[in-house]
Protein backbone atom coordinates (compact mmCIF):
# COMPACT_ATOMS: atom_id res chain seq x y z
CA UNK A 1 0.00 0.00 0.00
CA UNK A 2 1.16 3.52 -0.79
CA UNK A 3 2.81 5.26 2.14
CA UNK A 4 1.48 8.80 2.69
CA UNK A 5 2.94 9.26 6.16
CA UNK A 6 4.27 12.75 5.48
CA UNK A 7 1.18 13.99 3.66
CA UNK A 8 -1.88 15.91 4.86
CA UNK A 9 -5.15 15.19 3.06
CA UNK A 10 -8.17 17.50 3.20
CA UNK A 11 -11.46 15.81 2.24
CA UNK A 12 -14.67 17.80 1.80
CA UNK A 13 -18.02 16.14 2.36
CA UNK A 14 -16.24 13.63 4.59
CA UNK A 15 -19.16 12.98 6.94
CA UNK A 16 -20.69 10.18 4.86
CA UNK A 17 -20.67 8.11 1.69
CA UNK A 18 -17.86 8.57 -0.80
CA UNK A 19 -16.14 11.30 1.22
CA UNK A 20 -16.05 9.15 4.32
CA UNK A 21 -14.61 6.20 2.37
CA UNK A 22 -11.97 8.41 0.75
CA UNK A 23 -10.92 9.80 4.13
CA UNK A 24 -10.59 6.29 5.57
CA UNK A 25 -8.59 5.05 2.57
CA UNK A 26 -6.16 7.97 2.77
CA UNK A 27 -5.86 7.52 6.52
CA UNK A 28 -5.09 3.83 6.08
CA UNK A 29 -2.35 4.81 3.62
CA UNK A 30 -0.75 6.87 6.38
CA UNK A 31 -1.93 10.39 5.57
CA UNK A 32 -2.95 12.86 8.27
CA UNK A 33 -6.60 13.39 7.38
CA UNK A 34 -8.64 16.55 7.79
CA UNK A 35 -12.36 15.83 7.69
CA UNK A 36 -14.49 18.72 6.47
CA UNK A 37 -18.27 19.06 6.19
CA UNK A 38 -21.16 21.10 7.54
CA UNK A 39 -22.26 18.42 10.03
CA UNK A 40 -19.47 18.31 12.62
CA UNK A 41 -21.32 15.73 14.76
CA UNK A 42 -21.14 13.21 11.93
CA UNK A 43 -17.52 14.16 11.30
CA UNK A 44 -16.68 13.25 14.88
CA UNK A 45 -18.11 9.78 14.27
CA UNK A 46 -15.86 9.35 11.23
CA UNK A 47 -12.86 10.66 13.17
CA UNK A 48 -13.15 7.75 15.62
CA UNK A 49 -12.33 5.43 12.71
CA UNK A 50 -9.24 7.37 11.55
CA UNK A 51 -6.38 7.80 14.03
CA UNK A 52 -5.21 11.40 14.26
CA UNK A 53 -8.01 12.80 12.09
CA UNK A 54 -8.99 16.45 12.53
CA UNK A 55 -12.55 17.76 12.07
CA UNK A 56 -13.29 21.16 10.56
CA UNK A 57 -16.69 22.69 9.81
CA UNK A 58 -17.01 24.00 6.26
CA UNK A 59 -19.80 25.36 4.11
CA UNK A 60 -18.73 25.14 0.47
CA UNK A 61 -21.35 27.73 -0.46
CA UNK A 62 -19.56 30.35 1.65
CA UNK A 63 -16.23 31.84 0.60
CA UNK A 64 -15.67 33.04 4.16
CA UNK A 65 -16.28 29.58 5.61
CA UNK A 66 -13.87 28.06 3.09
CA UNK A 67 -11.04 30.48 3.89
CA UNK A 68 -11.56 29.99 7.64
CA UNK A 69 -11.51 26.21 7.31
CA UNK A 70 -8.26 26.13 5.37
CA UNK A 71 -6.66 28.62 7.73
CA UNK A 72 -7.28 26.09 10.52
CA UNK A 73 -6.02 23.21 8.38
CA UNK A 74 -2.58 24.62 7.62
CA UNK A 75 -0.56 23.13 4.75
CA UNK A 76 -2.48 20.65 2.60
CA UNK A 77 -0.75 18.17 0.28
CA UNK A 78 -3.82 16.32 -1.01
CA UNK A 79 -7.20 17.94 -1.65
CA UNK A 80 -10.27 15.80 -2.38
CA UNK A 81 -13.16 17.98 -3.56
CA UNK A 82 -16.04 15.65 -2.83
CA UNK A 83 -18.78 17.77 -1.22
CA UNK A 84 -21.86 18.20 -3.36
CA UNK A 85 -25.59 18.80 -3.25
CA UNK A 86 -28.52 18.16 -5.57
CA UNK A 87 -31.67 20.17 -6.20
CA UNK A 88 -33.22 18.29 -9.10
CA UNK A 89 -35.99 19.52 -11.34
CA UNK A 90 -36.95 20.02 -14.96
CA UNK A 91 -35.02 22.88 -16.55
CA UNK A 92 -38.16 24.71 -17.64
CA UNK A 93 -39.36 24.97 -14.03
CA UNK A 94 -36.04 25.16 -12.21
CA UNK A 95 -35.78 28.10 -9.85
CA UNK A 96 -32.71 30.28 -10.19
CA UNK A 97 -32.02 29.77 -6.49
CA UNK A 98 -31.79 26.01 -7.05
CA UNK A 99 -29.42 26.51 -9.98
CA UNK A 100 -27.26 28.95 -8.02
CA UNK A 101 -27.12 26.77 -4.88
CA UNK A 102 -25.88 23.68 -6.71
CA UNK A 103 -23.29 25.55 -8.79
CA UNK A 104 -22.12 27.50 -5.74
CA UNK A 105 -21.40 24.39 -3.66
CA UNK A 106 -20.38 21.84 -6.28
CA UNK A 107 -18.29 23.97 -8.62
CA UNK A 108 -17.50 27.39 -7.16
CA UNK A 109 -16.85 25.88 -3.72
CA UNK A 110 -14.43 23.37 -5.21
CA UNK A 111 -12.62 26.14 -7.10
CA UNK A 112 -12.30 28.30 -3.98
CA UNK A 113 -10.95 25.31 -2.03
CA UNK A 114 -8.35 24.78 -4.75
CA UNK A 115 -7.31 28.42 -4.50
CA UNK A 116 -6.67 27.94 -0.80
CA UNK A 117 -4.25 25.02 -1.27
CA UNK A 118 -2.45 26.13 -4.43
CA UNK A 119 0.13 28.51 -2.87
CA UNK A 120 1.47 25.79 -0.57
CA UNK A 121 1.47 23.09 -3.27
CA UNK A 122 3.23 25.31 -5.81
CA UNK A 123 5.82 26.39 -3.26
CA UNK A 124 6.69 22.83 -2.24
CA UNK A 125 6.40 21.60 -5.83
CA UNK A 126 4.17 18.69 -4.89
CA UNK A 127 0.44 18.32 -4.62
CA UNK A 128 -2.56 16.23 -5.54
CA UNK A 129 -5.94 17.76 -6.36
CA UNK A 130 -8.73 15.26 -6.97
CA UNK A 131 -12.19 16.45 -7.97
CA UNK A 132 -15.13 14.09 -7.58
CA UNK A 133 -17.26 14.52 -10.69
CA UNK A 134 -19.95 12.07 -11.85
CA UNK A 135 -20.88 9.87 -14.78
CA UNK A 136 -23.71 12.33 -15.50
CA UNK A 137 -21.12 15.07 -16.00
CA UNK A 138 -20.05 13.07 -19.07
CA UNK A 139 -23.40 11.69 -20.26
CA UNK A 140 -25.97 14.26 -19.12
CA UNK A 141 -29.12 13.34 -17.22
CA UNK A 142 -32.66 14.71 -17.59
CA UNK A 143 -33.97 16.62 -14.59
CA UNK A 144 -30.48 17.42 -13.29
CA UNK A 145 -29.30 20.28 -15.49
CA UNK A 146 -27.81 22.17 -12.53
CA UNK A 147 -26.05 19.13 -11.03
CA UNK A 148 -24.80 17.93 -14.43
CA UNK A 149 -23.50 21.39 -15.29
CA UNK A 150 -21.61 21.51 -11.99
CA UNK A 151 -20.05 18.07 -12.50
CA UNK A 152 -19.18 18.76 -16.15
CA UNK A 153 -17.70 22.05 -14.97
CA UNK A 154 -15.44 20.17 -12.55
CA UNK A 155 -14.07 18.16 -15.47
CA UNK A 156 -13.29 21.34 -17.40
CA UNK A 157 -11.72 22.88 -14.31
CA UNK A 158 -9.62 19.76 -13.81
CA UNK A 159 -8.22 19.79 -17.36
CA UNK A 160 -7.53 23.52 -17.41
CA UNK A 161 -5.86 23.63 -14.01
CA UNK A 162 -3.80 20.51 -14.77
CA UNK A 163 -2.20 22.33 -17.69
CA UNK A 164 -1.72 25.51 -15.68
CA UNK A 165 0.27 24.02 -12.80
CA UNK A 166 1.89 20.88 -14.21
CA UNK A 167 5.32 22.54 -14.33
CA UNK A 168 5.31 22.56 -10.51
CA UNK A 169 4.62 18.78 -10.40
CA UNK A 170 1.16 19.32 -8.93
CA UNK A 171 -1.35 16.95 -10.50
CA UNK A 172 -5.06 17.59 -10.97
CA UNK A 173 -7.42 14.74 -11.79
CA UNK A 174 -11.10 13.89 -11.58
CA UNK A 175 -12.92 10.73 -10.57
CA UNK A 176 -16.33 10.17 -12.14
CA UNK A 177 -18.36 7.59 -10.21
CA UNK A 178 -21.28 5.78 -11.81
CA UNK A 179 -24.12 4.29 -9.76
CA UNK A 180 -22.69 3.69 -6.29
CA UNK A 181 -24.36 1.85 -3.40
CA UNK A 182 -25.47 4.67 -1.13
CA UNK A 183 -28.58 5.67 0.83
CA UNK A 184 -29.94 7.14 -2.40
CA UNK A 185 -29.66 3.94 -4.47
CA UNK A 186 -30.93 1.86 -1.55
CA UNK A 187 -34.24 3.72 -1.83
CA UNK A 188 -34.75 2.68 -5.47
CA UNK A 189 -37.31 0.01 -6.32
CA UNK A 190 -36.14 -3.44 -7.43
CA UNK A 191 -37.48 -2.78 -10.94
CA UNK A 192 -35.47 0.43 -11.24
CA UNK A 193 -32.34 -1.27 -9.86
CA UNK A 194 -32.69 -4.19 -12.26
CA UNK A 195 -33.16 -1.82 -15.19
CA UNK A 196 -30.04 0.12 -14.23
CA UNK A 197 -28.02 -3.08 -13.88
CA UNK A 198 -28.79 -4.04 -17.47
CA UNK A 199 -26.80 -0.95 -18.52
CA UNK A 200 -23.79 -1.80 -16.35
CA UNK A 201 -21.51 -4.40 -18.00
CA UNK A 202 -20.11 -5.52 -14.63
CA UNK A 203 -23.71 -6.15 -13.49
CA UNK A 204 -23.37 -4.55 -10.08
CA UNK A 205 -23.52 -1.15 -8.47
CA UNK A 206 -20.22 0.26 -7.32
CA UNK A 207 -19.23 0.64 -3.69
CA UNK A 208 -17.85 3.72 -1.98
CA UNK A 209 -14.68 1.70 -1.49
CA UNK A 210 -14.35 1.34 -5.28
CA UNK A 211 -14.30 5.12 -5.58
CA UNK A 212 -11.99 5.57 -2.60
CA UNK A 213 -9.45 3.17 -4.12
CA UNK A 214 -9.31 5.30 -7.27
CA UNK A 215 -8.83 8.45 -5.19
CA UNK A 216 -6.10 6.84 -3.10
CA UNK A 217 -4.23 5.84 -6.27
CA UNK A 218 -4.45 9.31 -7.81
CA UNK A 219 -3.17 10.77 -4.53
CA UNK A 220 -0.16 8.46 -4.49
CA UNK A 221 3.42 8.84 -5.68
CA UNK A 222 2.72 6.13 -8.26
CA UNK A 223 0.24 8.42 -10.02
CA UNK A 224 2.78 11.21 -10.46
CA UNK A 225 2.67 11.02 -14.28
CA UNK A 226 -1.12 11.24 -14.48
CA UNK A 227 -2.73 14.67 -14.68
CA UNK A 228 -5.78 16.16 -16.38
CA UNK A 229 -7.38 12.71 -16.41
CA UNK A 230 -10.97 11.68 -15.70
CA UNK A 231 -10.98 8.24 -14.08
CA UNK A 232 -14.36 6.56 -14.61
CA UNK A 233 -15.47 4.26 -11.80
CA UNK A 234 -18.72 3.07 -13.32
CA UNK A 235 -18.55 -0.66 -14.09
CA UNK A 236 -18.35 0.06 -17.80
CA UNK A 237 -21.65 1.95 -17.95
CA UNK A 238 -19.99 4.78 -19.87
CA UNK A 239 -16.79 4.41 -21.88
Say how far apart CA 88 and CA 70 lie, in whole Å: 30
Query: Nearest 5 degrees, angle CA 117-CA 122-CA 128?
Result: 60
**Nearest 5°: phi and psi at 141?**
-165, 125
Provide the 3-class DSSP secondary structure of residue 212.
Answer: helix
Bridge partner list, 189? none
Rounded distance between C-alpha atoms, residue 6 and residue 126, angstroms: 12
Task: For residue 147, indicate whether it is catalytic.
Answer: yes
| Of 152, 130, 151, the residue nearest 229 (C-alpha) | 130
What is the distance between the alpha carbons of residues 96 and 116, in angstroms, rounded to a whole number? 28
What is the C-alpha separation between 52 and 50, in angstroms, rounded? Answer: 6
- How many angstroms from the chain centroid is the CA of residue 169? 21
For residue 129, which phi and psi values (nearest 5 degrees)?
A: -115, 125
Is residue 151 within 8 A of residue 193, CB to CB? The reply is: no
Catalytic one among 48, 147, 225, 238? 147
Closest among 230, 223, 85 to 147, alpha carbons compared:
85
CA-CA distance, 70 to 56, in Å (whole number)? 9
Which are the catalytic amino acids? 147
Amino acid sequence: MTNMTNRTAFVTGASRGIGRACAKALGEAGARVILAARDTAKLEEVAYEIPGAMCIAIDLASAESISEAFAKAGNVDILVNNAGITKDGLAMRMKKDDWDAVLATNLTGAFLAIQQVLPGMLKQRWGRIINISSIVGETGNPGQSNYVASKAGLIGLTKSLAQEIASRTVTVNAVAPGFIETDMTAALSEDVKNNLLTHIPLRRFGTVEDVAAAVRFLASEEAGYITGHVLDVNGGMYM
